[in-house]
Amino acid sequence: MPVTDVSSRSIPELMSLADRVAVVTGGARGIGAAICHRFAEAGALVVVADLDEGLAKSVADSIHDAHGHGAVGVGVDVADEEEIDLLGDRALSEFGRLDIWVNNAGIYPSTPLLDMTAAEWDRVLDVNLRGTFLGSRAAARRMVASSTPGVIINIGSTAGYRAAGPGIAHYVSSKHAVRGLTKALAVELGPSGVRALAISPTLIETPGIEAGRAAFEAAGLGDLLGSMAEQAPLRRNGVADDVARVALFCASDLSILMSGSTLAVDAGSLAM
């Protein structure tokens, strides 16, 4: 399927997601919630998917209140194959199409390698990698079947380029794999007009990150997360909307000739 030349469109037209349908996993908090709101602001109809169904519905309600158009909250475990397939079907039944799928759900526990259990390893890989695979497959199947030139966006991490500290061997491995999966998706799905992109954020200040901060401090490593901001060229960590704005770029026609790439939202840290 050839890429459409959009050179004649205005910037507002290129940024618009009007009439498009987006699924965002892990959409009830942090980065996911910020992405849902930015997509809705750009005109998308959003399926907010999260393990916490009540919170997902609350975010969907807030989107409707803020932007005046459709959003639904759905409970889902991204590591569950049946639930992910039902999520894809729910997007179609609610809104009639599927254009954008964001694999954002992820977990970031911290356990020293010598103490890490196989069950802990498996859970991180199940959510962060298996969940990304299942979501990508569900999206791709529906996009290809309907000849929709969609986009799959995987949320990775700067830990997908290098080890980001002790205690996260499972997380680092999962995020390296997400980058590779994104490349494979781009190669295999490109002829059908489906793009795949990844975003690798640095540390993003969200409520959930406090658990990681406490774990590092308990391990005697001090404020390791705070030191990351001091060492980055831009001298700061990120906020959720820093990632959401890049996700909007990836989802929009501004990036229509991009696939297989990983965009670093890293305060310049990977340049070091």
Of the listed ranges 102-111, 187-196, 229-238, the one predicted with least confidence: 229-238
Q: Quote the DSSP letter at residue 260.
A: S
- Whether 142 has a pLDDT exceeding 50, the answer reads yes
Q: Which residue has better confidence, 35 or 5?
A: 35
- Of the chain, the percentage scoring pLDDT greater than 90 comes to 76
Choosing from 101, 133, 171, 216, which is the catalytic residue?
Answer: 171
Residue-level pLDDT at 208: 64
Residue-level pLDDT at 1: 54
Instruction: Choose among 124, 133, 49, 149: nearest CA to 91.
Output: 49
Residue-level pLDDT at 30: 95
pLDDT one-digit tens code per residue, 176-189: 999 999 999 999 99
Instruction: Choose among 261, 245, 248: nearest CA to 100.
Output: 248
pLDDT one-digit tens code per residue, 8-19: 999 999 999 999
- Whether 238 has a pLDDT exceeding 90, the answer reads no
Phi-psi label, residue 247: left if phi above 0, alpha if psi -120 to 50, beta otherwise: alpha
- The 10 Å Cβ neighbour count of residue 59 is 24
In contact, 47 and 98? CB cutoff 8 Å: no
Q: How far apart are CA 103 and CA 181, in angstroms?
A: 12
Residue-level pLDDT at 16: 97
pLDDT one-digit tens code per residue, 71-113: 999 999 999 999 999 999 999 999 999 999 999 999 988 899 9
In contact, 154 and 196? CB cutoff 8 Å: yes
The Cα diameter of the chain in Å comes to 58
171 classed as catalytic? yes
pLDDT one-digit tens code per residue, 203-226: 887 766 666 556 556 655 455 666
In contact, 20 and 100? CB cutoff 8 Å: yes
Domains of the chain, earliest start first: 11-267 (3.40.50.720)
> Model-level pTM?
0.93
In contact, 64 and 70? CB cutoff 8 Å: yes
Residue-level pLDDT at 69: 84
Mean pLDDT for the chain overall: 92
Instruction: Choose among 180, 181, 179: nearest CA to 199.
Output: 179
Secondary structure, 3-state, 113-156: HHHCCHHHHHHHHHHHHHHHHHHHHHHHHHHHHCCCCCEEEEEC
Q: Could you give the C-alpha distances from 6 to 3, 40, 101, 254, in angstroms and in order? A: 9, 22, 22, 9
- Whether 259 has a pLDDT exceeding 70, the answer reads yes
- DSSP letters spanning 17-47: -TT-EEEEETTTSHHHHHHHHHHHHTT-EEE
